[in-house]
Structure formats: structure tokens, C-alpha cells
Structure 1
Amino acid sequence: MRSVRARAALGATVVVALALIGAGLSVLLVLRANLTDQAGLQAEVVAREVAGQLALDVPYDRLEMRDEEDNPVQVTDEDGRVVAVSKDLRAISGTGTDRVTPVPAQAAGASGSGSDDDNGGDDSNDDDDSHATPAPGRGEVDSDEPDFTNGTANVDGERADYRFASVRATTPAGVTLTVHAGAPLAAEQEAVGTVRGAMLIGLPLLLLVVAGVTWLVTRRALRPVEGIRREMAAITASEDLSRRVPEPGSRDEVARLARTTNETLTALEASVDRQRRFVADASHELRSPIASLRTQLEVGAAHPELLDLPGAVADTVRLQALAADLLLLARLDAGERPGRTVVDLGALVREEVSQRTGDRIAVTVSVPESGPFEVAGSRGQLARVIGNLLDNAERHARSAVTVSVRAAERGGVVVAVTDDGAGVPPDERERIFERFVRLDDARTRDDGGAGLGLAIARDVAVRHGGRLTVDGAREGGARFELRLPGVG
């Protein structure tokens, strides 16, 4: 299924179906167990009533039993012979024996047969003590938990299922008998069947309701997502990054998705605009030295004596430096990661300053002897940052340029480049780090460069996990601070 709504509806339906089936089976089992226990309790009551009569030495044929159709009774002796059954009992199972015909009283070992009337009023045997019937006594009924079984019984031609309880009783003559009494399971079967039928009918209907409600709720919840998708498709087709996706008024995940999408579009629009400005500015900056160099070469070709060779070399050097800056910015924009070489910034500063033999102002270096001041990164890129900061300071300083290296208070290394020039106005201190930005009062294409040096310096600092900031110097000029994390 490719539809989220369909998958959600199916998943919810399956989960609810499993839960309902489990709950339904539990209800059926509990209901069946309770009703079976009730039938067993009823059967136990009947069995104990009959067992109590046997304990009082009531003859088998005079046992009082409840409604035989509802509570069939079978009495067996120690040998498993049937000595008494309820009226109209035609067949039985589940009690240990399926016999329903009592054996003769003499064969069963009956303890007595009743009162004097049973002797027909004949007093001829009164003097024969050896044949006198013992006086009725009292036996006992086993008080232990009875045994329960399930079986069937045919009472007056009607066959049904029963729950049987088996209770033992001892007659006054010491004969142990077992009373098997049953209680019908029809009520249990009918109740379980009714509940099962209701579940079989109601479960599909309930699942249809769950599936439908889930489908509608999911459709409503995903409606903003579809709006976001349509707007993104329109933005892709029109390439208009100024458009934004609709943001729902809710505070759920869809609303956060819409806000994140708009933030991504904003960042993408800014990146594309910056790239376009970069291409336009780069084309503009490259056009001047190339046009100047071409003009000088064309004049030199026509009039060799008028060739300005130093100017051509200067334009070539300027063009080469600009191309190198543009290539470095392109690599940084592409996400190039700096190396992890350990660089001593103190030694690197000394090396860079020693190579600047043509500066109009001598650079003062202040590096404590407590070094080394080690950082991890690209030695070439960090040298470019220091060189660009020194070039900027030389361009604006009046009489002094100072570079210092020190350990930061919270770890890391700080390189500070200070000049005594006019400084940078507070409202311009972030703008000067943008690409191709030159302050009108001090920077020109001839002596101010293309406006890429500080932008490259900050990008490299950020790529190395540090930052580059500018502030006012005590001498009145500008103070640039490069902060980088130390090694370890």
C-alpha cells in the first residue's frame, strides 16, 4: 500500500482486531468457567443431599432426589456397582460407569431394609437374636472437595450435557458409597453461544467502524501535508524560492514540519541569492584585470615601445590572486573539510611575518615563550587567514601593525591583529565579512583588493571550529581576533 492513510487504517484495524479477539476469548473463557462453576456447585448440593440420606441409612429405593431431569443421580459402591439411580435415567457418561440399572440390594450389601413393616408384621423371629436388624445409626459424608467431571445423561429420552459432582458417603453399616449428581450445562452453553454469536456479528461491524474512523482522521491529519507537497511541487516547477508552504495553526508535528520546510526554503533562497551575487561580483571583478591586461597586450603588440610591462605583470598577479580566492571560496562552499594537522600558531605567525618583506609598515610580533600554541587544521588555510588579516591591517594602518598570539582564558588560542588606522564603524563590523564588500572611504579596486580577504578569513575560521571578530583597538584602529580551539 502506497497510501499512508490506507496503511494507518489497516494497522489500526489489525491492532483493534487482535485486541478484541483476545478480549473476546478471555470473556468467553471467564463466562464459561463461572457458569460451569455454578453448575458444579448445584451438582455438589444435590450430591451432598443424597449422601446425607445415605449416611442416615435411608434405603436406596427410598432416597429423595430433586427433579431427575435437571439433576440426574447415580450411586455406586466401592466396587463400582450401581446401587441406585434417579428415576427415568436411561444412560449416563462421565461418572466412571455407564450402568444405569441398580444391582439387587442383597448383592450390594445393603445394611438394612426399613422398619418392622418390612418384615410383614411376623413376630415369629422376634426371639431369634441372630437375625435382628441393628438399630439405625448415623454414617458420615466426606467433607473434602468433591470431584467434578463433565459428561452426558439421557433422562426420559432427552440427552443433554451435565456437570457431575462426586461425593463419598459412609453408611452406618460401614459401606462406602459414591454419589454422582449432575447439573445441566444448557444455561452455560446457551450463554456462551449467545455471547459468541454477538461477538461474531459485532466484531466485523466494529472493525469497519475503526477502519472508517481511522481513514477519516488520518485523512484530516494529513491534509496539511498534502498542501505542503503541492506547494513544494509548485516551487520546484516555478523555481521561485520566495514562495512558502502553508503553515497550519496546530502545534503538532505537521505544523513543525511546515515551519522547518519554510526555514529550509529561506536558507536555500539566501544561499541561491548569495551564489548569484557571488557569480555576478566575481564576473565583475575578473572583468577589470582581464580587460586591462588585454588592452596592455594589444597596445604592446601594436606599439612595443609603449608596452607597460610592470602594469601587465601587476594585473596578472592581481588576476591570479583573485582566481585563487575564488577557488578557495568555492571549495569552502562545497563543504571541504580542513585537515587535522597540528599547527603551532606562534611559529606560523613568525613565518608569515618574516616573508612580508615589501610591507610599507613593519609588523610587530608578540609571541610569548610559553608556547607552543597548537591547533588542529589546515596549515595552508590558517596561513591564508593570517596573511589576509595582515594585508587588511597594512592597507589601513597609519604607522603601526601588531600581531600577537596568546592562550585563551577557557582554552584554545587567540591571534590578534591590530592597526592604528581609522578603525571600523560599529554598524559595519559584520558587513565587512561579507563577500565583495569594500568600505567606500578606504577601499578601492586598486589598493583595496576585491573584498574577499576578510570573507575568506571568517569562513576558514568557522570551518576550523573557531570565530573571527573585529573590535576597536586602544590605538584607535581596528583589532581583529581569531579564536581557535586548542589541541587536546
Structure 2
Amino acid sequence: MSANLPRTPRTPRTPRTPGLQRLPRLPRFPRSSVRVKATVGAVAVVAVALVAAGTALLAVTRTGLADSAEHTAQARAEAVAKSAADGDLVARLAVPDGEDSLLQVVTDDGRILAASENLAGRGPVATFVPSSGSSAAARSVRIASGSAERPYRLVAVRTTENGRPATVYAGTSLETAEYTQHLILSAMLPGIPLLLALVAAVTWRNTARALRPVEAIRAEVAEITERDLGRRVPVPASRDEVARLSTTMNDTLDRLQDSMDRQRRFVADASHELRNPIAALRAHVEVAIAHPQLLHGDELLDDVVRVQQLADDLLLLARLDAGQYPDHVPLDLSELAAATVRRRTGERVPVALDAPGEVLVHGSRTQLARVLDNLLDNAQRHAASRVTVTATAGGVLEVLDDGSGVCDADRERIFTRFTRLDESRSRDAGGTGLGLAIARDIATAHGGTLTAPAPADGPGGRFVLRLPTAR
């Protein structure tokens, strides 16, 4: 096992303004990086496109020139075939000056009836004939001419000469087509590597420029710790995906910092709230040890109950923060309110219930009963002579009291954890300041809301719980 070496403390850095930081340089040759993958991918795509385009160009060029040669040869073969059929066939067939063409008339038994000068004294240049029902047949052949073989597009056309069946062979040279293909290959082959190198260089450079803000974000996030959540990643001036990523990352860091600050405050407040009842318990235990006759069991039990209540509240809040919610089932909010009121006997102020009809909602019976209990506990601490619970259609539950009410500045603050107004502290030192916070968190977990609007008919406290209705 390796030893744990102490870390060298990092010197605090001065916060920099997002968007004005100097972006770091990327590594020159990162392994398996996006930069490498983008460059290789771009080069591969361009290479495939160039090869496909070059192959198509060569095929189109060769096909076009071959078709042109075939049409020329067929026209000449048909002209000679007509002359033979008309009895005007001459022994030496003329070809246009300056063209490397072939003409030959061959009988079915292999005798040469006529030929062009470049085929004088030679045997039949081919033996294929048109198929039945076809006027001509064509093939690409290579025929020896001098010391080399030359490519031709050879066309065969059937005819008769003085009643004897014969075949006219006319050929047009394909040397122009082969030379054109050679020129295309000569021009393309040296240019493809150069073009691929240019694509690779441009892609490598542009990818580096595009990823430099991402590297700046990564470097900044790597240096952010839970003790340094005030730092933010740089936001590029461009309005592209990287800028949106930076903005989203900063928003996430804002939420993380807010969560950490909330957690620290929660731990500090919980420690503060637990200190007093634990200190009181210790004092009672010490008195019991030193003077058993002075022990007051009721006071000791009150402190134990208070610590237990606070521990239960903290555990419930932790579960709510972690997203642990029980299954939601359809339930009648009016029946739940009636059962809760019946269960709470011996209240300081009587509770009136106004729930004339069925109000169906989806939720956890245990948690919604906890919400109503917390609201009634709060109302009992502040009411002068009356507390009313009302359940109406639309999933609305109201708890009203005739106490001093809540001022406008505190209507949201009272739902903050460990918040107790001055009056609450003076009237009931046993409150934990978590009841309304727990009630709102449960309402939010159920997809509802819990607010404290001003009463419509005079002073007093009013809390309104709204829940989605069951369908």
C-alpha cells in the first residue's frame, strides 16, 4: 500500500472575470483526443470522396469516349455494308486521313472481300457477329499494329455481297480515351496527397481553436474544490455551443455553491439548535447523579421529547433533500383533515373543521398528515381564540387563526429552516423552527405549493396548501 503523502497547500488565486481569461494552449499531440479524431475523420471522409469522384470521372470519361468511337465505327460499318449489298464494294476500303481506323469485310467462310490499307494481307480481325435480331455488335479489342498492340472499339455489321453473307468490321482507335485517362490519373494522383495534407492541417488548426475554450473550462473546473466554489469557468465571446456549455457550467456551479452554502447553514443551525436541549439534558443528569432527590422527571422528559422531535425533523428533511418520497396514492383530503383534527385532543384553542365534500388528491397520507399537524402546531402557538381548517374542491386546504398574523416581509422567510420570529420565540421556546420548512418541502415533493397569503377578512394567520387533484 502506498503511503499517503501530505498535499502541498495551493496558493489562493485572485478570481478572474469570466470571458477575459487567457485561454490555455492545447497539448500538441494529445492521445485519442477529439482533435486527433476530428482530423483523422475529416481526412478519411475527404479521401473516400476524392477516390469515389476520381473513379466516377474516369468511368464517365472512358464510357463517353468509347461510345463516341463506337458510334463512328458503326456508321462506317453500315456504310460499307450498304455498298456491299448494292454491289459497289471495292477491294481497298478508304478511311479518313489522319485517323487510325480499321475496315474489313469477311465472308462466313473466312475469306477477305475488302479491307483498309492498314489491314492489307492480314486475316480476319475478329470472328464475332451480331446476335439474331440485332443490327450490330461491338467489342473493345487490341490489335497488333507494327511493333505494338493498339486499342480499338470494333463494330460488326452483317451484309451480303453478290448473294454471299458477310460481316463488315469497322474499328475506331481508343488511344485518345486511354491517353485522356492517363492525363486524369497523372493530374489526380499527385494532388490527392497534397489535398489530404491541406485538409488535415486546416482541420487540426481549426479543431484546436474550437477546443481551446473547452480546455480552459476543463482546467478551471479541475481546480475548483468545495472550498473554492466561488470561481467560475470562462465564457467565450462567441455565441456557439461552447459558450452555452460555459454558461450551463457556471449555472451548475451556482446551484452547487448554493447547495453547499445551504448545507453548511443547515449543519450550523442544527448544531446550534441541538446544543441547548443537550446541555439541559446534561444538567439534569448531573443533578440526578449529585442530588437524586432534586430530579424533576417532567423537565427531563420535556428535554428528551424536544431532542427527539428535532432529530425526527432533521431526518425527515434529509430524506426530502435526498428525494426519498413514499408512494403516492389517491386519498380524500377532507377525510384526512377530519381524522387529524379528531386525533388532536386537548388543544389550547379549539379547531373548527369546514370540509363539506370529498376532495381527492394524490399523495402520501403520512406526509400530508405531517403537513397539517405542522400547520396546526403553528396556528396553536399564535391563535387567540380560533383555528379553522377548510378543505375545498381543487385540492386546496386552508388553515386560519385569529392571531397577530404574518407581516408581508416575513411571508417567505417563515418557510426558511430554523427561522422563528421574535413572537414565536417569546411565546414558545420549544419550537424548532423546522415545522413550516418541512411542510413546504413536502408540498413541493407532491407537486403542490404552500403559501402564507394575507387573510381576506381581517388580521390573523392564513396558510394555503394546494395539491394536484386525483384524476
TM-score strictly above 0.5: yes
Give CA-to-partner distance per residue, 1:333-359, whole Å, 9 cap, x none. 121122224333222211221222232
Q: How does 1:385-464 map to 2 (within 5 A)?
A: 385-408=371-394, 413-444=395-426, 446-447=428-429, 449-464=431-446
Partner Cα separation in structure 2 for residue 433 and residue 94 of structure 1: 105
Q: How does 1:224-373 map to 2 (within 5 A)?
A: 224-236=213-225, 239-368=227-356, 370-371=357-358, 373=359
1:27 maps to what in 2?
57
Partner Cα separation in structure 2 for residue 148 and residue 447 of structure 1: 111
1:140 maps to what in 2?
none
Partner Cα separation in structure 2 for residue 401 and residue 74 of structure 1: 122
Give CA-to-partner distance per residue, 1:165-198, whole Å, 9 cap, x none. 2233444x44443221111111100111221232
2:32 maps to what in 1?
2
Instruction: Work out whether 1:480 is the aligned partner of 2:463.
Output: yes
1:457 partner amino acid = A
Structure 1 residue 59: deviation in Å?
4.6
Partner Cα separation in structure 2 for residue 42 and residue 362 of structure 1: 115
1:190 maps to what in 2?
179
Partner Cα separation in structure 2 for residue 32 and residue 331 of structure 1: 77
Q: How does 1:139-154 map to 2 (within 5 A)?
A: 146-154=136-144
Any unmatched runs of 5+ in structure 1? 99-142
Give CA-to-partner distance per residue, 1:410-451, whole Å, 9 cap, x none. xxx111101112221222211111101112244348446121
Please point out which of 77, 85, 96 is paired with 2:127. Answer: 96
1:26 alignment partner, SS class: helix
Residues 91 and 115, structure 2, Cα contact 8 Å, conserved in 1: no
- TM-score w.r.t. the length of structure 1 is 0.83
Instruction: Work out whether 1:44 is the aligned partner of 2:33.
Output: no
Question: Runs ≥4 in structure 1, deviation > 4 angstroms?
Answer: 90-94
Residues 325 and 456, structure 1, Cα contact 8 Å, conserved in 2: yes
Give CA-to-partner distance per residue, 1:299-337, whole Å, 9 cap, x none. 233233433332222222111111110111111112112
Any unmatched runs of 5+ in structure 2? 1-30
Q: 1:92 to 1:332 in 2, by over 3 A?
A: farther
**Which one is further off, 449-458 or 155-164?**
155-164
1:60 alignment partner, SS class: coil
RMSD of aligned Cα (Å): 2.4
Partner Cα separation in structure 2 for residue 53 and residue 155 of structure 1: 27
Structure 1 residue 481: deviation in Å?
1.1
Partner Cα separation in structure 1 for residue 218 and residue 345 of structure 2: 61
Q: What percent of counterpart residues are identical?
A: 50
Residues 91 and 154, structure 1, Cα contact 8 Å, conserved in 2: no
1:241 alignment partner, SS class: coil
- TM-score w.r.t. the length of structure 2 is 0.86
1:163 alignment partner, SS class: strand
1:120 maps to what in 2?
none
2:169 maps to what in 1?
180
Residues 469 and 482, structure 1, Cα contact 8 Å, conserved in 2: yes
Give CA-to-partner distance per residue, 1:19-65, whole Å, 9 cap, x none. 22221111111000011112112323432443344344235325433
Structure 1 residue 290: deviation in Å?
1.1
2:144 partner amino acid = N
Q: How many residues align?
A: 436
Structure 1 residue 261: deviation in Å?
0.8
Structure 1 residue 211: deviation in Å?
1.8
Give CA-to-partner distance per residue, 1:244-297, whole Å, 9 cap, x none. 111112222111111111111111111111110000000000001111122123
**Which one is further off, 187-196 or 175-184?**
175-184
Partner Cα separation in structure 1 for residue 424 and residue 80 of structure 2: 123
